[in-house]
Amino acid sequence: MRKRSSYLDIVLNPFNLLRTKRILHVNPTVAPQRIEPEHINLYVYDYDTENLHEEKLNEVKDAFRYKHTASVTWINVDGIRRKDIEEICNHFNVHPLVTEDIMSIGQRPKVDEIDGVIFCLLNMLYFNEKDSAVETEQISIVLGKQFVLSFQEDASRDVFNPLRDKIHFRNNKLRQSGTDYLFYTLIDLIVDNYFVVMEKLSDKIEVLEEDIIRSPNNRSLAKINQLRKEMIVLKRNITPVRDMVNGILRSESELLNERTAKYFKDVYDHIVQAADLAENYRDMMMNLHDLYLSNVNLKMNEVMKVMAIVTCLLAPATVIGGMFGMNFDIIPYAHHQFGFYLACGMMILIPIVMLYIFRKRGWF
């Protein structure tokens, strides 16, 4: 069955309750029902100040020879398949608890130091223009002695292309530094991409604000509800990263050089700013909701005012018509030759006078 377009889905289900279920119903204690890919992609970047060896591996065991190299080794694994992940982690002496976290789904961003390696888990964020939704991809990074392992769920996209380009240039900070700087660069690229996603959300908020000011309707309320859900996703994934980076700064691991601390402080500043922006966006959505309600109430008041004025203007004609329609034998001017025209004139003149008085008082 063909998947419905996002526009049709908004029309049939403007408040997208399925999206709410995906966002809120997260239980990390439940065993993950992950669909394993048919194959995974392994890329190795082994480098020092003078040499760079870049290779795509066909077998997991081909990566084992990079464990004890004197150079810096980055092994990036695209695709999460239990057998391969366990094989890699066992060979590089990664604790089984870390292996389970790599295999997990819906984990909170965190950092752990176990058995001589530093493990951090966080989410890459992407903005789906078609659905106007924030999408997440869990990534796990393991820092060991002379190696960095990164595990991604989706092989089709990531934010590491600037790093792949930079690694080819010999005279840069990355090639002159150790694994801790590579570890910092991976986290920094993920954090910097948060601002790209928030910028696109900001554009959506500005457009929505203009729509609400011009012509608020039920579709506007549905868009507010949709963006508020995306703010939940944004805040849930950004705020814990602040604690994660702070944990790295407080770590006394020998894997982290003191000279690299200033770079992690820079990442910490960025993630604090991102968390503040996410909170500001949340406040903006609350304000937009209040603005929508105010505009709807204002529009309703305008309608009620027009209806009240029309009712007042018709009241004299109703009274006059009712008086001359009473069942009395003697009614003044009832049989006068100009009585009908006199009654009609009064029905027109009195509302005109009422309009003048209303206008003078500023009622409309």
pLDDT in tens, 210-269: 888 888 887 888 888 888 888 888 888 999 999 999 999 998 888 898 888 999 999 999
**227 assigned to some structural domain:** yes
Residue 28, C-beta contacts closer than 8 angstroms, at least 6 positions apart: 104, 105, 106, 107, 108
- Does 191 share its domain with 91? yes
- Does 323 share its domain with 279? no
**186 assigned to some structural domain:** yes
Query: Is residue 318 pLDDT above 60, yes or no?
Result: yes
**165 assigned to some structural domain:** yes
Higher-confidence position of 32 and 348: 348
Query: What is the reported pLDDT for 69?
Result: 84
Query: Is residue 2 pLDDT above 60, yes or no?
Result: no
- Does 283 share its domain with 354? no
Residue pLDDT, tens place only, 48-63: 888 899 999 888 888 8
Measured CA to CA, the distance from residue 118 to residue 107 in angstroms comes to: 17
Write down which residue in 247, 263, 295 finishes a domain.
295
- Mean pLDDT of all residues belonging to the chain: 84
- Does 91 share its domain with 158? yes
Q: What is the DSSP letter of 65?
A: G
Write down which residue in 239, 273, 295 finishes a domain.
295
- Does 121 share its domain with 233? yes
- Does 240 share its domain with 332? no
**83 assigned to some structural domain:** yes
Q: CA 233, 237, 243: angle at the middle one, nearest 5?
A: 150
**1 assigned to some structural domain:** no
Domain containing 104: what range? 6-295
Query: Is residue 34 pLDDT above 90, yes or no?
Result: no
Cβ burial of 279 (10 Å; 0-12, 13-18, 19+) is: middle
Higher-confidence position of 18 and 128: 128
In this prediction the pTM is 0.78
Residue 256: which region, alpha, beta or left (left: phi > 0; alpha: psi -120 to 50)?
A: beta
- Identify the band that residue 27 occupies on the pLDDT scale cut at 50, 70 and 90: low
Residue pLDDT, tens place only, 153-182: 887 888 999 999 999 888 888 988 999 999
Q: Please list the alpha-helical segments (H only) found in 72-217.
A: 82-91, 96-103, 161-166, 173-176, 179-214
- Does 236 share its domain with 339? no
Query: What is the reported pLDDT for 310?
Result: 84
Query: What is the reported pLDDT for 196?
Result: 93
**92 assigned to some structural domain:** yes
- How far is C-alpha 272 from the geometric centre of its chain's CA atoms? 17
Query: Is residue 11 pLDDT above 70, yes or no?
Result: no
Write down which residue in 295, 316, 338 finishes a domain.
295
- Does 242 share its domain with 289? yes
- Identify the band that residue 33 occupies on the pLDDT scale cut at 50, 70 and 90: low
- Does 209 share its domain with 69? yes
Query: Is residue 8 pLDDT above 60, yes or no?
Result: no
Strand order in the sheet with 147-152: 52-57, 41-47, 72-78, 147-152, 133-144, 117-128, 110-114
- Does 279 share its domain with 312? no
**300 assigned to some structural domain:** no
- Does 168 share its domain with 316? no
> At 64, which CATH number?
3.30.460.20
Number of folded domains that form the chain: 2
| φ, ψ for residue 189, nearest 5 deg | -65, -40
Cα separation values, 132 from 11, 58, 201, Å: 15, 37, 8
- Identify the band that residue 300 occupies on the pLDDT scale cut at 50, 70 and 90: confident
- Does 200 share its domain with 324? no
Measured CA to CA, the distance from residue 277 to residue 86 in angstroms comes to: 38
Higher-confidence position of 80 and 216: 80
**52 assigned to some structural domain:** yes
> At 321, which CATH number?
1.20.58
Query: Is residue 185 pLDDT above 90, yes or no?
Result: yes
